[in-house]
Amino acid sequence: MSKQNLELHGPSWTEVILGAVLSVVLGGALAAVFLILKPVTKAKEMPKQLTADMVYYLEGSLDASKLRQAIAKQNSFAQGRSVSITEDELNALAAPAPTAPAAPAKGKPPAAAPGAAFAFGTPNFRIRKGELQIAVPMQVGVAGLDLNVVVQARGAFARRGESFVFVPNEVYIGSCPVHRLPMAQGYVMKKILAASALPEGVVAAWGKLSDVALDGSTLQFTMP
């Protein structure tokens, strides 16, 4: 609209609507960034009285002595046998090898590579009350600053087509509820699962599963 028409008639409906939409989008983006950078509250167990607008992160247990039996179960599964695995065993398998050079400290993500916006660390698994939590520490590079946030997803497994997939009912980046943004949730889940890459033998056996179930604090894989 020309300046003369603007002075005579004011802004058009198109300009008013566009301005309103841009305001909502910008406000939503700023709110998302604020929530992403808002620290989560780490706890061993969920408190009886929850604090409003506070997101909690409960870290799964790790017993390094379970590594040998976890590897045995992983190999057995790759050979087509049914197995049950605990969160201690999952976290023992996910932990960096003791001999790996310059391994990051437990639970901390590596520094983002030059030019990269973020980098993921070692995933952590927690199984409680028939629900699996997958959490990954993430380092975000913003304006020359390195910020650490926790990405976490909670859910269960369901059959999709010929295979079983993890279906989250909650996904958070920091304190931002990504599960309320379907398109963003799919992208975040791809990153989480990529950080939890499986050996080729396990991937091949996965397609043969007849059932995947969460029983209390145990993950059960059933073969035909």
What one-character-per-residue DSSP string does 71-117 give?
A: HHHHHHHHTT--EEEEHHHHHHHHSPPTT-TTPPPTT-PPPPPTT-S
Structure tokens at 208: 């043969």
Same domain, 181 and 87: yes
136-174 core/surface letters (b: 16 or more CB in 10 A; e: else): bbbbbbeeeeebebbbbbbbebeeeeeebebebebbbbb
- Measured CA to CA in angstroms, residue 58 lies from 47, 76, 109, 162 at distances of 11, 30, 17, 32
Same domain, 18 and 51: no
Same domain, 16 and 126: no
Same domain, 25 and 113: no
Question: Each residue's pLDDT tens digit in the chain (224 positions)?
Answer: 445 544 444 455 444 444 444 443 444 444 556 577 788 888 888 888 877 778 899 999 999 999 999 999 999 999 999 999 999 999 999 887 765 445 555 556 666 555 456 677 888 999 988 899 988 888 876 656 677 888 888 999 999 888 898 888 888 888 888 877 766 667 677 766 666 667 888 888 998 999 999 988 899 999 99
- Expressed as residue numbers, the domain containing 13 is 3-35
Integer Cα distance of 28 and 32 in angstroms: 6
Same domain, 56 and 124: yes
* Phi-psi region at 208: left, alpha or beta (left = phi > 0; alpha = psi -120 to 50): alpha
Same domain, 160 and 100: yes
Residue position matching structure tokens 């009285």 = 49
Same domain, 177 and 199: yes
CA 77 to centroid of chain Cα atoms: 24
Integer Cα distance of 215 and 93 in angstroms: 20
Structure tokens at 186: 């799919």
Same domain, 14 and 57: no
Same domain, 123 and 200: yes
Q: What's the confidence (pLDDT) of residue 105?
A: 57
Prediction pTM value: 0.75
| Cα angle, residue 178 at apex, residues 91 and 157 outer, rounded to 5° | 50
Q: What's the confidence (pLDDT) of residue 199?
A: 81
Number of domains in the chain: 2
CA 117 to centroid of chain Cα atoms: 17
Same domain, 27 and 50: no
Same domain, 55 and 135: yes
Is 218 in contact with 86 (CB distance < 8 Å)? Answer: yes
Q: What's the confidence (pLDDT) of residue 196?
A: 64
Tally the residues of the chain.
224
Same domain, 125 and 200: yes
60 φ, ψ to 5°?
-75, 155
Q: Other C-beta atoms within 10 Å of 51: how many?
A: 9
